[in-house]
Structure 1
């Protein structure tokens, strides 16, 4: 059987402390609806404008796990890339993201442990008003081969 060549992520020896990845995503209805459909999450805070209007948020917010998904996808696709495995993550959601916002994510390598094949990646996200939405750290094992 023929096998497709697969793109491999970066090995730990090719990564450097301070290296950054910037990702920008717009929080669109289609992405929200796909998430809600896949998870069957019917939290009215995520989709019902009339409900959200009477909360402290005043409008529907983006599910936090969607923001987390953007972060984990960035690790899987780019830094370190395909074959990476997230070992641990801690994320603090500082402010909510709202529907239709544009969110900028920055992932930065803070520490490299070649013996354990682990990198510590810091992540932050801000909206177009420069309001911080989240901050966190992820311990990631880059691909070994």
Structure 2
């Protein structure tokens, strides 16, 4: 039986220094889809009048939505389809405002062949080249399915 999908990079194909850059505009639609899915009613994410009274002065993007952009890039590109995120550590340096465009820079910083794990370092910047987050994500790369 043939598979109708392609797998991403296996552990043998990945090396330290491999990299990926993803640019993503964060649109209102994305934010409201996330909020609808999670039922998150934080006024800091949705209420412009409330957010204007805070230190941020504007509604901000939910942090978990930013994590989702990173894990999506991992699932799609590096290592790619079939990979599984097993640990995430994120430092949110400054808030991301609605409508901002971010550039995420991914780099493989460790390949642990014994534990079959890849460690990715991610940094994201806005168009003003301000760092908005740093992350380290551990991933198990895809493995070819075994016949049963």
- Report the counterpart of residue 140 of structure 1 in structure 2: 139
TM-score by length of 2: 0.94
The CA distance in 2 between the partners of 1:3 and 1:52, in whole Å, is 52
Q: Distance in 2 between matches of 1:11 and 1:141?
A: 9
Mapping for residues 104-119 of structure 1, pairs under 5 Å = 104-119=103-118
C-alpha RMSD of the superposition = 1.1
Runs of 4+ in structure 1 over 4 Å off: none
- Number of equivalences: 144
Query: Displacement, 1:144?
Result: 1.7
Match of 1:40 in 2: 39
TM (normalized to structure 1)?
Answer: 0.96
Question: How far off is 1:4 after superposition?
Answer: 5.1
Match of 2:75 in 1: 76
| CA deviation profile, 1:53-110 (whole Å, cap 9, x unmatched) | 0000000000000000000001111100111111111000000100111100011000
User: Structure 1, unaligned stretches of length 5 or more?
Assistant: none
Whether 1:88 aligns to 2:87 is yes
Q: Does the residue aligned with 1:13 lie in a helix, a strand or coil?
A: helix
| Unpaired runs of at least 5, structure 2 | none
